Amino acid sequence: KVARLIKYHPDETIIHEGAPGDRLFLILAGSVRVSTRGKQGAVELGHLSRAAFFGEVACLTGRPRTADVIATTDVEVIAFDRADVDDILKKYPKVRKLMHAVMTGRARTTIEKTVGQEGKE
């Protein structure tokens, strides 16, 4: 068992910020909205669609989920457990490098959007 196909409906929460997470998701079809909680409430971080992945921070670090991910359409994802992700990253070092680059970019975007929100108070 390497991965599972999971389907979600519009407005269904796929990931809850703060929850433990041991899976990474790859979108096969549909789109999702990613948001986090700031001092003024929800801060939208972006939208992801086909071929994008999410859930990498908790999956790679073992830390709690850093954002909410909610389906905006019918969504099909492939869910990879942490052990499977570890195996893939060991076998394909370039994938690890890419994931860390994406993770760093997303962290930067989150900081910019949440700090920008605080400046609007």
12-57: per-residue pLDDT in tens? Answer: 999 999 999 989 999 999 999 999 987 778 889 999 999 999 998 8
Q: Which residues are CB-contacts of 114 (< 8 A; sequence separation ≥ 6)?
A: 36, 38, 43
What's the pTM value of the predicted model, to 2 decimals?
0.84
CA distances to 1, 39, 89 from 80, in Å: 9, 32, 12
Q: What share of the chain is helix, strand, coil (3-state, %, to 5)?
A: 35, 40, 25
